Amino acid sequence: MSGLNVDVAGEGPDLVLLHGWGMHSGVWTELIPALARRFRVHTIDLPGHGRSAGIAAPDFEGTVDLVAANVPDGARVCGWSLGALLAQRLVQRGAARVSRLVLVSATPCFTLRPGWKHAIAVSTLEAFAAWLAEDRDATLARFVALNALDGAREREAIRAFTGRLAERGIPAGAALAAGLVWLRDTDLRADAGRIAVPTLLVHGARDQLVPVEAGRWLAQAIPGARMHELADAAHLPFFTHRDAFLAALEAFVG
């Protein structure tokens, strides 16, 4: 095994949950009781995050390998934001035998590029990197607010995730910086068609970090993929729209 922290709950088919940048696997807390009644749920802390804080973050492909070492054969995999980027690559490379894939608030490419406008400017990520170097805690607080911006239950989500971030300690600065590089440089559009497992995309129409158009593009590019949009959700649909999210997830992976 890779040494990454993995919490396991429940019995049944394996379901792996991958969190996003700057967070840890505690983001899934509200979902675990319901999911554990039907699945054996594996929540992974990415390197440098949560209880994997002591694991140095390798490059993006190396992190895919670390995650793959903790994905049981035939597992369903659900990734959110950066976790969704890793999940896409996991399947594209065949790094683990995944039976079904759920991509939440997902994009194949986080930054603007020629011919790709469903993204944020590179300068935005560079600004985050500069802010991190000056004040890591304030930068993460700003990032939590962006996750909830313009969505339903915005203030509640900010309070909840600000508190949750502190539960396992602030991620290591090196891991945060590495993650920003992955978000800046990774472009998986050319390989989207290589995702050959049943795939569901769940996206908030008000997402200010990953435009819903990016999710729609993926849904068209991945053969047979389904798209489930939540009209008043931002970047945290699994929290702000828990029941609707669970219904869509369980119907697809069950």
Across the chain, what does the average pLDDT equal?
Answer: 95
Q: From CA 55, how far away is CA 47, in angstroms rounded?
A: 5
For residues 72-82, average pLDDT = 98
Asked, for residue 64, whether it belongs to a domain, the answer is yes
Residue 2: per-residue pLDDT? 52
For residues 46-56, average pLDDT = 94
Asked, for residue 1, whether it belongs to a domain, the answer is no
Asked, for residue 244, whether it belongs to a domain, the answer is yes
Residue 188: CATH number of its domain: 3.40.50.1820
* Structural domains counted in the chain: 1
- The pLDDT tens digits for 145-187 are 999 999 999 999 999 999 988 888 888 889 999 999 999 999 9
- The pLDDT tens digits for 85-109 are 999 999 999 999 999 999 999 999 9
Asked, for residue 117, whether it belongs to a domain, the answer is yes
Regarding pTM above 0.85, the answer is yes
For residues 202-226, average pLDDT = 98
Q: Looking at residue 233, what DSSP letter applies? A: -
Q: Annotated catalytic sites, by residue?
A: 81, 207, 235
Q: Pick from 221, 180, 179, 226: which is nearest to 203 by CA?
A: 226
Asked, for residue 113, whether it belongs to a domain, the answer is yes
Q: From CA 209, how far away is CA 218, in angstroms rounded?
A: 16
Asked, for residue 194, whether it belongs to a domain, the answer is yes
CB 9 within 8 A of CB 131: no
Range of the domain at 149: 6-253
Could you give the percent of the chain with pLDDT greater than 90?
Answer: 92
Identify the bridge partners of residue 43 per DSSP, sorted by sequence position.
Answer: 7, 17
Q: Pick from 69, 105, 59: which is nearest to 200 by CA?
A: 105
